[in-house]
Amino acid sequence: MDSDLQEAWALADAGDAAGLMRRLRFTADRFAVGDIAPLAGRAAELAGFADLAEAAADVAADPGRPRALYAYGYACVERGASFLAVPALRAALSLDPGSSEILRELVAALEDEHRHGDAVSVLAEHEAELPPWPDRYLLAYNALMAGDLARAVAESARLPFPEDEYWVPVRGRLSGMLARARAVRDLGRLGDRDLRGWHFALTGGVLATLSPYGFDEGMTGRYAYVSDGFGTCLYGLQRLRTVLEAAGRSPRTVSLLPGRGDRALGLAASQVLGLPAGPFVPGRADTVVIAYDLGEAGHDLLVALHGRADGQVLYEHATCWTDPPAVSADVNGLLYQTVVAPWDERMRLTADGAADRTPADDRTAEELADEILRADPAPDDGDGGTPPDTDEALAGFVAAVAPLWPAGGPRDRVRSPGPVRSSRFL
């Protein structure tokens, strides 16, 4: 038995479901589905996923049945293991190449894994048979997410207006993405490391700051881990002011969200922007809504923020790029995978090198806002690898795309990081 499979079985026998899944992520594409399915089934048993365990057992018993492979792949996608679904659905499609059901599920799995170029390739292999909705739309969408703007524009131009009303807003979202992407391209940008340009094209939001660390080592402007500080919060608000001024936007109020951190940041924003502050009211126009991290927001608040009132700007200081919130903000302070807010409990090293924890800061939102305003907003110089990210560069970008910002329509979630990739913890 291959050593990787031996190690995977050792993890399975030890009951280490998390370790087993990490091992399978890096080996699933290298082995026959029949060899991987029993391991996936064991992981499913350990996690209590009876549907996936049963589907995996069916494939292990007979890996040559396309319906069994499809059911297993479908269960993998549903349980958040699309990396296991991809080889199974590829095998199913090779056995039943005319199945649109299998093709679409394979594309869904590839999208979950952000393998948009592979999704384009598999759709292109069946291009002659693709109906416009959803299959040719998926071809245009994945071409865009893979960074192939020319193909995305060409495929989108071939899409007729959808007969099914379900696809009408989807068509609008794609059209908006393409319009923003063309605008950024016309600025001479949109390369494979233009994080701000692609972020705007895909989400409609302006990324206020780039990470000053690891740009050339795989991060390309995103953060992996952020130990956030009050000064960083103030700097983000100053960059928000730069964005509003460059876009010619003149909000009349700051809207405060109910979370303590959100309220603290909003109260500080009121002073930075010179605007009165009041509680957030859904549908209020000409206001700046301030959030620290929308990943912490409740369902009802996210529903209220999904729709965009006239002149309303939503600012999110810290945005998780590996698990984006349900609502895409109009301005994002920074992109992180893991963040520790300035008022959270955090680890520190004592003078003798031992690990210690500092308690959470339990001050009121008003006191935290004062702390933000007193902080030093000077940006971190980082390691020197990130391209210069001056106020002038940000203002120039915003002024150039201002006719398309904020984007029209609802603030839809964008799950994929798009063409600009960043290293991430698994």
Q: Running along the chain, 426 residues long, what does each successive block of 10 average in pLDDT?
A: 86 93 91 95 96 97 97 98 97 97 98 98 95 97 98 97 96 97 96 97 98 96 97 98 98 97 98 98 97 96 95 98 97 98 84 78 97 96 94 98 93 96 88
Which tokens in the block code for residue 387? 């391209």
Rounded (5°) CA angle 132-136-140? 135
129 burial level (CB within 10 Å; 0-12, 13-18, 19+): exposed
Please state which CATH class domain 3-181 belongs to. mainly alpha
Q: Any idea which residue has 């001479």 for tokens?
A: 188
Q: What is the pLDDT of residue 125?
A: 96
pLDDT the model gives residue 351: 67
Say what the pLDDT of residue 395 is. Answer: 98
What are the boundaries of each domain within the chain?
3-181, 188-404
- DSSP secondary structure string for all residues of 137-183: HHHHHHHHHTT-HHHHHHHHHTPPPPSSGGGHHHHHHHHHHHHHHHH
DSSP β-ladder status, 346-349 and 355-358: antiparallel
Query: Tell me, what's the pLDDT at 3?
Result: 84
User: Which CATH number among 3.10.450.40, 3.90.25.10, 3.90.950.20, 3.40.50.2020 corresponds to the domain 188-404?
Assistant: 3.40.50.2020
- Residue 314 has, within 13 A of its CA and on its CB side, a CA count of 33
Report pLDDT for 378. 95
Is there a common fold for 3-181 and 188-404? Answer: no
